[in-house]
Amino acid sequence: MEHTQASVHALVSAQRAFFRTGATLDVSWRIRTLKKLKQAVLDHREALESALLEDLGKSPMESYLCDIGPVIAEINEILRKLRRWARPETHYSGLMCFPSAVTRVYKMPYGVSLIISPFNFPVLLTLGPLAASLSAGNTAVIKASSKSPASTRAMGDMLREVFPESLVALLDGGHDVADMCLQERFDKIFYTGSPAVAGHVLTQAARHLTPVALELGGETGNFCIVRRDADLQDAARKIAFMKLLNAGQVCININQIAVAREVAEPFLEALKREFTRQIGEHPEENPEYPRLISPAAYERCCSLAERYRDRIIFGGSGNPENQRFAPTLLYPVDMEEDIVRQELFCPLLPVVPFRDGEADLLMETIARREHPLALYVFTSDRRWARKVMTTQQYGGGCINEVCLHLMVPGVPFNGTGHSGMGAYHGEWGFREFSHPSTVLTGRTFWNLSLREHPYSGKAGKKKMRLLKMVEK
C-alpha cells in the first residue's frame, strides 16, 4: 500500500479521536483486546512461521522459540497481572499537605503510540511492544521493517483481521514511511534498531517533546569474557548456540569473545567441536540454519571475513544463493582492532586473547567504550563475576550463561547509553507506556494558613517554626 503524509496524518488523527472516547481506559477492555491479540497469534502461527522462513530462513522450531512463543508468554503474563499493575497507588499525603490525607497515583496511558520495529525478530519485536502499549491503554501505529517484507505482510494481515485501524495499524514501506510517521505528533515512540537511526528518531521526537524508548544494539558490541577457571566445554556449548541463533543477527548476541590466553587453545577447539555438533560441517547448506537478511548484509559479512582471511581458524565459507554464511572464528584479534569496536550482526566471531591476571584491566578497557546491550562472563569465581556485573554499565547479561536473562518473567529488558533507554517486558512494559499522574484530594475545612502570606513578622516566625517541625 502506498502511504502519503496526508494518509499517515489521517491515521494518527483517527487514532487520537478513538483514544479520546475513553474506551481504552477500562482495564477490562484492555484485557479483552489482549486476548484477541493472543488468539490472533495462535490462529496465524503457521502464516507467521512461513513468513519468518521466507525472510530469514528460520525453521519453525526457531521461529516459535524466538519470535512466536515469547509473544504468547508476554501476553499471558500481562493478562495475569494487569489489574494489579493498573490499580491506582494510594499514598498518605503527609503533614505538609494537611488537611489532605490521601494522594493517589493513576497509571494513565500516553495516548497514540508509534512502534518502529526491526527485521531480525520481526514478530517478537513488533508484537511484544504492541502488547505493552495496549496493556497501558494506548493506541498504536506500527512501522514494521521493509527488510522482512513477508513478516510485515503476515502481521499486517493478522492485525487488520482483529483490530480497527483506529486502534492498531501496521504500515509497510521504507525509511520514507518512517519519516512520515516521525513528522506526526505522537504521545510515545518506541524504537528498536541501531544507535545511528536512534539519533534521528530522537531528533524528530524532540520537535514535539515526545517521550521515547530506545532498544538498541551496542555500538561497540557485546563482550563475552571467558576466564581461565571457566568450564570451557560448557562455555563453548552455550556460546555456539548463541552465535548460531538467527545467524548472529541478534541485538544481545556475542559480538566478540575475550578469552584468557592460558586456556585459549582448548577453548577454541571446544568451540569448533560445538559448532560442528550443533549445525553440521556445512552450515551454509543446512536448511535449519538461518540466513542473512539481504544480499547487502551477506556481502558485508563476506568483505569483513576476507579482511581477516589469514586469521580465520574455523568457518569462513558461505553460499551467496541462499545468503547463509558459516559461523566463523577469527583469532587472534587485538582489542583495538576495528572489528571489535563495532556491532557485527553476522556470524563472524572475533576472539581477543588476554592474560587472565589482567582481567580487571580488560574490564576497564570495555568500560571506556560505549555501553553494550549485553555482557556475558564465564568463570567459577562468582565473587569476581558479581563485581563485574555490579560495576560495569550495560543493558543486561548472564554469568555462566547466555541470553536467558531475556526470558525471565517480571524483569526488565533494556539498554543504557548507546544501547538504549527505557525498559519493557511484563510490568516494565506497562510502566514504559504509562504516565503516572499524581492527584491529591484536598479538604474544604481545617485548612491552615501556613503556606500563605504574610511570611514576615510574628506570623512569619511562627510559620517558620511550624515548617521546621513538620519537615523533621
pLDDT tens-place string over residues 286-319: 999 999 999 999 999 999 999 999 999 999 999 9
The separation between CA 35 and the C-alpha centre of its own chain, rounded to angstroms, equals 23
- What's the pLDDT band for 448 if we cut at 50, 70, 90? confident
Residue 468: the pLDDT is 86
User: Measured on CA atoms in the order 369, 373, 376, 381, is the torsion positive or negative?
Assistant: positive
pLDDT of residue 217 exceeding 90:
no
Residue 371: the pLDDT is 96
C-alpha atoms less than 13 angstroms from C-alpha of 454 in its C-beta half-sphere: 7
Under the phi-then-psi rule, with left for phi > 0, alpha for psi from -120 to 50, and beta for the rest, what region is 84? alpha
C-alpha span between 270 and 234 (Å, rounded):
9
Residues tagged active-site: 215, 251
- What's the pLDDT band for 221 if we cut at 50, 70, 90? confident
Residue among 428, 406, 413, 408 nearest 85 (CA): 428
pLDDT of residue 231 exceeding 90:
yes
Taking the complete model, does pTM exceed 0.75, yes or no? yes
- What's the pLDDT band for 453 if we cut at 50, 70, 90? very high
Which burial class, exposed, middle or buried, applies to 76 when counting CB atoms under 10 A from its CB (0-12, 13-18, 19+)?
middle
pLDDT of residue 270 exceeding 80:
yes
Quick one: cell of 184?
A: 506526526
Domain boundaries, the chain: 5-218+421-435, 223-369+374-410, 442-470
Residue 406: the pLDDT is 94
According to the CATH classification, is domain 223-369+374-410 in 3.40.309.10? yes
Crossing angle of helices 69-86 and 124-135, rounded to 10°: 10
**Measured between alpha carbons, how far is residue 339 from residues 239, 298, 306, 335 in Å?**
18, 16, 12, 9
User: Measured on CA atoms in the order 114, 118, 121, 123, is the torsion positive or negative?
Assistant: positive
Tens-place pLDDT, residues 13-70: 999 999 999 999 999 999 999 999 999 999 999 999 999 999 999 999 999 999 999 9
5-218+421-435 — its CATH code? 3.40.605.10
338-351: burial string, b at 16+ Cβ within 10 Å, e else: ebbeebbbbbbbbb
Which H or E element spans position 243?
helix 232-244
Residue 414 φ/ψ, nearest 5 degrees: -165, 170
Percent above pLDDT 90 for the chain: 93
C-alpha span between 239 and 260 (Å, rounded):
15
Find out whether 184 and 8 touch, Cβ atoms under 8 Å: yes
Q: How many residues does the chain have?
A: 472
Tell me what the pLDDT averaged over the chain comes to: 96
